[in-house]
Amino acid sequence: AQKITQTQPGMFVQEKEAVTLDCTYDTSDQSYGLFWYKQPSSGEMIFLIYQGSYDEQNATEGRYSLNFQKARKSANLVISASQLGDSAMYFCAMWYNQGGKLIFGQGTELSVKP
Amino acid sequence: EAGVTQSPTHLIKTRGQQVTLRCSPISGHTSVYWYQQALGLGLQFLLWYDEGEERNRGNFPPRFSGRQFPNYSSELNVNALELEDSALYLCASSLTGVHYEQYFGPGTRLTVT
């Protein structure tokens, strides 16, 4: 069965430092996609970054990068140069090739300290 | 370009009542997805509609239902509300066949008392 695991309920990081949010996944599908979303206190889910299972290079979007280790089934999000506005819940999600649905992890609450 | 819109923003209902939530997708998107996010939890997939048809359903009881209209907007109906239905209900939309690229609306926060 498909599953996403985020083992860090909460994380703290100092402003301007980098932080890594962990995500591991489980699937028997060969074709799948991995996502990270940011959810501020307002509730809206904001797409950050996407990695396809066949992509050989790690995805990057500005200050966000996805450390994709397929053999270990991990898809960690790295945020460089943290900003106060990065404080939010972060969800790792997986799309798999049947059902047309995203499976989400439980989330990690990131707090950026000034 | 307008994003996904949802209404109402907030809703308070009593146990046993019925509620209807609405979602308008991004222009050109034909797939609509509904998710439930209970307090402190991740998102749980509820329903997927595409081209007016229900394509997939999550592990929720039949009192959760919905439909998609010819203009691709969608409604989520919940009958016989229970206290545990209190949650943020998020709608997302995508292009047909590109269901891994889903754009989310701001959500409707439902409180059942």
pLDDT value of position B96? 82
Measured between CB atoms, which of A33, A93, A106 is closest to B41?
Answer: A106
Mean pLDDT of A5-29: 95
Tens-place pLDDT, residues A60-74: 999 999 999 999 999
Which tokens in the block code for residue A39?
A: 């959810």
pLDDT value of position A98? 67
Among the listed residues A75, A85, A81, the one whose alpha carbon sits nearest the alpha carbon of residue A33: A75
* Contact check, Cβ <8 Å, B42/A50: no
pLDDT value of position B89? 96
pLDDT value of position A100? 67
Task: Pick B113 or A27 by higher pLDDT.
Answer: B113
- Averaged pLDDT score across all residues of chain A: 92
Tens-place pLDDT, residues B53-101: 999 899 999 999 999 999 999 999 999 999 999 999 999 999 987 777 8
Quote the CA–CA distance of B17 and B79 in Å, as a whole number. Answer: 7
Sign, Cα dihedral of A97, B21, B44, A56 = positive
A2 to chain B nearest CA, in Å? 13
* Contact check, Cβ <8 Å, B107/A43: yes
pLDDT value of position B76? 98
φ/ψ of residue B74, rounded to 5:
-145, 155
Residues of B within 8 A of A47 (CB-CB) are 103-104
A84 CB neighbour count, 10 Å cutoff: 10
Measured between CB atoms, which of B33, B41, B101 is closest to A101?
Answer: B33
Decide if B37 contacts B88 (C-beta within 8 A): yes
Chain B 63-102, CB below 8 Å of chain A: which residues?
88, 90, 92, 99-102
Mean pLDDT of B17-40: 94
pLDDT above 70 (res B14): yes
DSSP state letters, B15-49? TT--EEEEEEPPTT--EEEEEEE-TTS--EEEEEE
Tens-place pLDDT, residues A21-44: 999 999 888 888 999 999 998 888
Burial of A63 (0-12, 13-18, 19+ CB in 10 A): middle
